[in-house]
Amino acid sequence: MDMLKGGLIGCGFFAQNHLHAWRDVEGAEIVALCDRDRARLKATSESFGIERCYEDAAAMMDAEKLDFVDIATTVATHRSLVEMAAARGLAIICQKPFADSMEDGKAMVAAARAHEVTLMVHENFRWQSPIRAVRAAIDSGAIGSPFWGRVSFRSAYDVYAAQPYLATDERFIIQDLGIHILDISRFLFGEVETLSARTTRVNPRIRGEDVATIMLGHEGNVTSIVDCSYATKLPRENFPETLIEVDGSHGTVRLGADYRLQVHNGSGTRETDVSPPLLPWAEKPWHNIQESVFNIERHFADCLSRDIEPETSGEDNLKTLALVYAAYRSAEEGGRMQVPG
Ligand code: NAD
Ligand code: 89Y
């Protein structure tokens, strides 16, 4: 099989993880880099030994023979870059949040469809191995039919140091982090029919909301609570662990701190350690997220080589994005119920 050749756009904080992971993905490699910030471009080029560098994304796409682009910029540039790549027939993997609005998200999906290119969103939290372990436990039938769930991310980790835009953007936790937690809830409990949300800002030094509590009504009468906070000072910081509770007709699943998975039913209680592996280039506590970057990139390369639709395609991600915007609408209306769409 020919090696898939990619160009990475955006050499900032998180792109460093993308590049480490791409080195380990069989069948794909990053051959060119682009960033409009010359210093970041140079530093990344030197760290990863990738010499073909561009300050302009269109120039990179036109000069290089690429199969795909990996877009690791912040959301404001996603639509123009996705449309640019789609028009050139390139496959695309694009960071979350996919779009700034439903209109932009739909336009990107339409552009990919019109040019018949693969468009996948780098929605990586559901690709964390502990989250896959929860889904496997549900799918095994050990707890019967799930009827209730909670997907929870509560922390006081200083995310603003590495990502200063999180402190200054008008919207924060639902768009940045809640988007992952909502996606996990969809992944575990199915599509959503109704939603109600409340938010608040506890940290006075940031602009957006840093706490959100969202109740989801899923198809099949399953209810879930998605709760996230960056204002929760715990005796032990759990960043970046997502904790999960699932109640089913025959038992329960719990994903607790330290990646302890507990499955309980009439036959007893089984507890296992589902810690993600610490990849050679990864660093705690980020290793959980870093492993999921490798997993999602491998999935993207596999889908391209087999010409199949990725699990977290642009089209699929519109459903997660709809929950984000419905949550903001509901919170603005004081927590009134919304039907996303
Ligand atoms: P960053 O600001 O550190 O890096 C973005 C880089 O993109 C900058 O160097 C900037 O110069 C460059 N850039 C912007 N527009 C460009 C353009 N048109 N052409 C070329 N270069 C351009 O941002 P970050 O913290 O690395 O975040 C990037 C994205 O990754 C965000 O959308 C963020 O939400 C996401 N992110 C995802 C995860 C995850 O787990 N999936 C974690 C952290 C960040
Ligand atoms: O940007 C966010 C993400 O996607 O995962 C964690 C994060 O880095 C901070 O909330």
Nearest CA to ligand 2 atom 1: 176
Instruction: Give the ligand whose atoms come closest to the C-alpha of residue 44.
Output: 1
Nearest CA to ligand 1 atom 44: 14
Nearest CA to ligand 2 atom 7: 177
- The number of the ligand 1 atom at minimal distance from the alpha carbon of 96 is 32
The confidence score (pLDDT) of residue 1 equals 64
Q: Residue 70: name the closest of 99, 115, 35 by CA.
A: 35
- Ligand 2 midpoint to CA 44 (Å): 20
Bridge partners, residue 154, by sequence: 229
Residue of 230, 289, 292, 317 best suited for mutating to test ligand 2, as the one with most atoms within 8 Å of CB: 289
Instruction: Give the ligand whose atoms come closest to the C-alpha of residue 96.
Output: 1
d(CA 214, CA 330) in angstroms, rounded, equals 9
Instruction: Give the global pTM.
Output: 0.98
Residue of 14, 175, 296 best suited for mutating to test ligand 2, as the one with most atoms within 8 Å of CB: 14
The confidence score (pLDDT) of residue 336 equals 82
Contact partners, residue 116, CB within 8 Å, separation at least 6: 89
DSSP per residue, 64-75: S--SEEEE-S-G
Handedness of CA 302, 303, 305, 308 (dihedral sign): positive
- Ligand 1 midpoint to CA 82 (Å): 14
∠ at Cα 253 (249, 254), nearest 5°? 145
Nearest CA to ligand 1 atom 41: 124
The confidence score (pLDDT) of residue 341 equals 61
Q: Which residues line ligand 1 (CB under 6 A)?
A: 9-15, 34-37, 40, 57, 72-75, 77, 95-96, 122, 124, 163, 176, 289
The confidence score (pLDDT) of residue 337 equals 78
Question: Is the Cβ–Cβ distance between 24 and 301 less than 8 Å?
Answer: no
The backbone torsions φ and ψ at residue 104, rounded to the nearest 5 degrees and listed phi first, read -65, -40
Nearest CA to ligand 2 atom 9: 159
d(CA 335, CA 341) in angstroms, rounded, equals 17
Nearest CA to ligand 1 atom 36: 14
* Complex ipTM value: 0.99
Question: Is the Cβ–Cβ distance between 122 and 291 less than 8 Å?
Answer: no
- Ligand 1 midpoint to CA 15 (Å): 7
Nearest CA to ligand 1 atom 23: 12
Compute CA distances 31 → 9, 69, 81, 258, whole Å.
11, 10, 18, 37
Per-residue pLDDT of the chain (341 residues; tens, 9 = 90+): 689 999 999 999 999 999 999 999 999 999 999 999 999 999 999 999 999 999 999 999 999 999 999 999 999 999 999 999 999 999 999 999 999 999 999 999 999 999 999 999 999 999 999 999 999 999 999 999 999 999 999 999 999 999 999 999 999 999 999 999 999 999 999 999 999 999 999 999 999 999 999 999 999 999 999 999 999 999 999 999 999 999 999 999 999 999 999 999 999 999 999 999 999 999 999 999 999 999 999 999 999 999 999 999 999 999 999 999 999 999 999 988 776 56
CATH 3.40.50.720 residue ranges for the chain: 4-117
At the second CATH level, the architecture of 4-117 is: 3-Layer(aba) Sandwich (3.40)
**CATH code linked to domain 126-282+321-332:** 3.30.360.10
Q: Six-digit token pair at 273?
A: 């350690």
Question: Is the Cβ–Cβ distance between 261 and 134 less than 8 Å?
Answer: yes
The confidence score (pLDDT) of residue 3 equals 96
Q: Six-digit token pair at 78?
A: 């996603």
Measured from the CB, is residue 177 less than 6 Å from ligand 2? Answer: yes
Question: Is the Cβ–Cβ distance between 300 and 289 less than 8 Å?
Answer: no
Instruction: Give the ligand whose atoms come closest to the C-alpha of residue 240.
Output: 2
Nearest CA to ligand 1 atom 20: 35
- The number of the ligand 1 atom at minimal distance from the alpha carbon of 165 is 2
Contact partners, residue 318, CB within 8 Å, separation at least 6: 98, 102, 105, 106, 109
Q: Per residue in 78-92, is it b (16+ CB within 10 Å) or e — as a string?
A: bbebbbbbbeeebbb
Nearest CA to ligand 1 atom 9: 12
CATH 3.30.360.10 residue ranges for the chain: 126-282+321-332
Instruction: Give the ligand whose atoms come closest to the C-alpha of residue 13.
Output: 1
Measured from the CB, is residue 179 less than 6 Å from ligand 2? Answer: no
SS3 of residue 278 by DSSP? coil
